[in-house]
Amino acid sequence: MFIKYLTITSPIDTIREIEFKSGLNLIIDNTPTTEGQLTGNNVGKTTVLKLVDFCLGSKPSIIYTDTENKKEVYDLVKDYLIDEEVVITLILVDDLKNPNSKEVVIKRNFLSRKKAIRSINGKAILEKEFEDELLKLLIPHQKAEKPTFRQIISHNIRYKDENINNTLKTLDRYTSDVEYETLYLFLLGCTFDDGAKKQVLLTKLKQEETFKERLEKKQTKTAYEIALSMIEDEISALDEKKSRFNLNENFEEDLEKLNSIKYRINRSSSLISKMKIRKELIEEAKKELENSISSIDLKQLEMLYTETTRNVSGIQKTFSDLVNYHNNMLVEKAKFIASELPSLITKISEEERNISELLRQEKEFSQKIAKGDSFEELEKVILELNEKYRTKGEYESIISQLVEVGDNINDLNDEIKKIDELLFSNDFEEILKVQIKKFNKYFSAISQDLYGEKYALKYDKVITKNNQQIYKFSAFNANMSSGKKQGEILCFDLAYILFADQENSPCLHFLLNDKKELMHDNQLIKVAEFVQDKDIQLVVSILRDKLPEGVIDNAHVAVELSQDSKLFKIESDQ
């Protein structure tokens, strides 16, 4: 597939229509060199490459964020693309020379949800299916899950630092060597359908090993097993202690009865004490009355009473009658006071018998409670048992998980081993050697032709830090300057297109390159001449004043930009 057109439109206008041709295509600035204060930077040259990448599935943010500092957003550009509802259309064709050649028309805009435009050949595509649809159309022979479409075309589009400065490591810095292994085995035509499966297995293996490390952060599996054994011994000892418990099942009831008995004893004691005091008071009163019976000299009193009756007429009672009356009255009063004593004595006697019974009961319940273990003590044992069982459960769970994760790791390693037995078999390695030899014919021939040096692709079988064997690919040559490095990268990309054509393997026939100012003038001239008669489309964004003489003569200027005419022409609206 080649790029035929890239158009930038709004609902009311065509902002840019950029045509591409076979050979070298230049995206340059036309800033006059006499105006020293103006430069060809920041006019949108690199953005052209980004727009092609955007149509091939990259995120919209690449257009309005700084390539080197993704936190820096160009709000002017972002707002313009959204507010003006800008649509980017990329037209790819199988053959630029054939007007009837098969076309693939890709449209995208920068709006979201229902307003989003994301279509291929007029058919709207969901975001999650967009990359798969591109893969079916542009790289139809790739049926496996890995490498992905974006990974396969990563060497075709070089404007990010990782793409510009690395020949083979064209993906982000977090990409594993296993992913690169799968990618380059695919690019070299070494059929390996288990590449995606191996990556998944290795990802799962890493997760399991990380989980195992977390489980064993405090102690190893052996330590947990020993600790569990000790916990089980402690549980047995507590169970035995619990079984020996002399538990009074009616402890609370008996304790309540004992307290009631003690209360009644106290009440009876108090009552007896009060009744005894009353008895004593009655007895004292009775004795006092008895002592009050007259014992005076009755003869003397009688002589006095006789003399009185002589002088006082009307007294009918004799003195003897008067004394008898007085004494009888005291006796009756003493009898009345003492009448309560028998019943009081009886009550005291009864209450003493009652208190005697209560004291017996108190002793009985006290002994009963004292001999039994209390619920409180049992609860302490049960609480301790519960804690031990909780710890036991925790240890058993960790051990179970460690056993499970250990089994998972073994199973995953077994599956990876089966894949590696095929991948690193002599037969597969022979195929790989043949394919690399085919590729290096182009790689070394192109580099010799363009730069007078032979570059080559090689592989090494290495063991990763996770103890996994992989094929690690690299390009090599003698010590090279940065310019030569750019030559190595370009030669690799050119060689791959020629190699893929020989293998009848579908590929993108265009290469997008930024910052080719790093290349020597001679290299640019030779590259322009090389791609002129090859079925290859090389798109380069470069400052015009860095172009060596003669390059434009062998190239197609796809678009010229300047400070007064930037890519989106936003400056004309200011």
Sign of CA dihedral 392, 393, 395, 396: positive
In eight-state DSSP terms, residue 515 is -
Based on C-alpha coordinates, what's the Rg of the chain? Answer: 56
Instruction: Report d(CA 244, CA 481) in Å as an integer.
Output: 87
Instruction: Report d(CA 337, CA 557) in Å as an integer.
Output: 144
Instruction: Report d(CA 88, CA 71) in Å as an integer.
Output: 24
Average pLDDT, the chain: 82
Reported as a pLDDT band with limits 50, 70 and 90, residue 481 is: very low
Would you state the pLDDT for residue 482? Answer: 43
Question: 177-187 and 195-215 are packed helices; what angle lies between their axes, rounded to 10 degrees?
Answer: 170
Rounded mean pLDDT, 5-32: 90
pLDDT in tens, 35-75: 454 555 678 899 999 999 999 999 999 999 887 677 788 89
Would you state the pLDDT for residue 334? Answer: 64
Write out the DSSP string of 368-427.
Answer: HHHHSBPHHHHHHHHHHHHHHHHHHHHHHHHHHHHHHHHHHHHHHHHHHHHHHHHHTSHH
Whether pLDDT at 125 is above 80:
yes
Question: 482-502 and 521-532 are packed helices; what angle lies between their axes, rounded to 10 degrees?
Answer: 10
Longest dimension (CA), the chain: 186
- What does each C-alpha distance from 372 to 163, 264, 308, 360 come to in angstroms? 84, 24, 88, 19
Would you state the pLDDT for residue 89? Answer: 96
Would you state the pLDDT for residue 110? Answer: 94
Rounded mean pLDDT, 284-301: 64
Return the number of other C-beta atoms located less than 10 Å from residue 422's C-beta.
11
Task: Rank 126-135, 245-254, 318-327 by mean pLDDT and report only the highest.
Answer: 126-135
Instruction: Report d(CA 505, CA 185) in Å as an integer.
Output: 13
In eight-state DSSP terms, residue 525 is H
Sketch the domain layout of the chain as residue ranges. Answer: 251-372
Rounded mean pLDDT, 119-142: 93
Would you state the pLDDT for residue 308? Answer: 67
The single-letter code of the amino acid at 360 is: R
Cβ distance 342 to 283 under 8 Å? no
Instruction: Report d(CA 531, CA 107) in Å as an integer.
Output: 28
Would you state the pLDDT for residue 526? Answer: 83
Q: Is 105 helix (H, G, I), strand (E, B) or coil?
A: strand
Q: How buried is residue 559: exposed, middle or buried, by Cβ count under 10 Å (0-12/13-18/19+)?
A: buried
pTM of the model: 0.69
Instruction: Report d(CA 164, CA 157) in Å as an integer.
Output: 9
Would you state the pLDDT for residue 66? Answer: 80
Q: Is 57 helix (H, G, I), strand (E, B) or coil?
A: coil
- Least confident piece of the model among 361-375, 446-460, 523-537: 361-375
Would you state the pLDDT for residue 478? Answer: 43
Whether pLDDT at 537 is above 70:
yes
More reliable by pLDDT, 364 or 112:
112
pLDDT in tens, 20-29: 999 999 999 8
Cβ distance 122 to 105 under 8 Å? yes
Whether pLDDT at 297 is above 60:
no
Q: Is 142 helix (H, G, I), strand (E, B) or coil?
A: coil
pLDDT in tens, 185-218: 999 988 766 766 777 788 788 888 888 888 888 8
pLDDT in tens, 558-567: 999 988 889 9
Would you state the pLDDT for residue 427? Answer: 87
Would you state the pLDDT for residue 574? Answer: 44
Rounded mean pLDDT, 523-545: 85
